[in-house]
Chain A
Amino acid sequence: MPAPDDFRAQLETLRPYLLRYANLQLRDSAAAEDCVQEALLAALAGQAGFAGRSNLRTWLTGILKHKIVDAIRRQAREPVLQEPGEGLEGSEGLFDGRGHWAERPADWGDPDGALEQAQFFRALELCLARLSARTAQAFMMREHLGLDTSEICKELEITPTHCWVLLYRARMVLRECLQQTWFEKQ
């Protein structure tokens, strides 16, 4: 086991990564910093738990995830303001009255190449920012933190059906947004 000071220094080098990770989920830099601070403290206290594991970042991210879920739980307890456009954004307008595509989705070819480009991820983040807070939260809990629907329902205090609606809405908005801001321009 490294000396405590070495360990602390190693943890510090990961702080920017952890902050980015927490910000993606929480969209609140103060809350994100609190989570990271708590995670780093927990890691220092639990150094023994790391002994023998190969990847410090993975271990630390695991601790951070728990702190983020705690923060989301606290946020969910706060009264929710009715969000403008809730229920309107998303699939409306994409389909005609009979439920057929108003405009058929374009072919993205082999989109994996985009994952090699930092610019693509900027575009993705801008698209994520277009989602309403609640929709984004559910979507990021699912796809970024990798939680399952039942956990998301519990933390956000919503029904599974509501959860699936939010996830569907997020996917359709993001698909459309990336089409316009990225794939159409390639």
Chain B
Amino acid sequence: MMLSCKETTRLASQGLDRELAFGERVALRLHLAICIGCRRAGRQMRFLRKAVRELAEVDVRTNA
């Protein structure tokens, strides 16, 4: 069963918050292998995490 892009992004998001089950990881990888849109969305969600972690530091850095 192939996941839709909607299901894939939902699962990719959950993958940032919980351990995915084996079947979920397989389904996710199968879809990502053929879908550039979902690969980009996944990268962007990981980038958001990084950006938000740095958010509080910005003023410190720019005022330094």
Known: A99-B4, A143-B52, A164-B14. A16 touches B59 (CB 8 A): yes
Interface flags, B36-52, vs A, CB<8A=1, else 0: 11101101110111111
A contacts with B, residue count (CB < 8 A)? 44
Q: How far is the CB of B12 from chain A (nearest CB, A)?
A: 9
Interface of B is mostly: helix
Check if A95 sits within 8 Å of B52, measured CB to CB.
Answer: no
Return the contact of B51 from the options A16, A21, A114 (Cβ within 8 A): A114
Contact B36 A164 (CB under 8 A): no
A4 at the interface (CB under 8 A from B): no
Report if A107 contacts B (CB, 8 A): yes
The 8 Å CB contact of B56, one of A24, A99, A118, A120, is: A24
A37 interface residue (CB < 8 Å to B): no
Closest to A102 in B: B5
Give Cα distance in the complex from A101 to B36, angstroms.
11
> Shortest Cβ distance from B28 into chain A, in angstroms?
14
B residues in contact with A164, CB < 8 Å: 10, 13-14, 17-18
Measured CB to CB, the nearest residue on chain A to B41 is A105
A20 touches B48 (CB 8 A): no
B40, A20: Cβ atoms under 8 Å?
Answer: no
Are A175 and B41 in contact, CB atoms less than 8 angstroms apart?
A: yes
Residues of chain B within 8 A (CB-CB) of A118 are 58, 62
Chain A nearest CB, measured from B27 CB (Å): 13
B61 closest partner in A (C-beta): A118
Chain B, Cβ-Cβ closest to A121: B58
Binding site for B on A (CB under 8 A): 16-17, 20-21, 24, 91, 94-95, 98-101, 104-108, 111-112, 114-115, 118, 120-121, 124-125, 139-140, 142-144, 146, 148-149, 160, 163-164, 167-168, 171-172, 174-175, 178
Given A98-B4, A101-B38, A111-B44, 10 further pairs, Cβ under 8 A: A99-B6, A101-B5, A115-B50, A163-B17, A167-B14, A168-B9, A168-B10, A168-B14, A175-B45, A175-B48
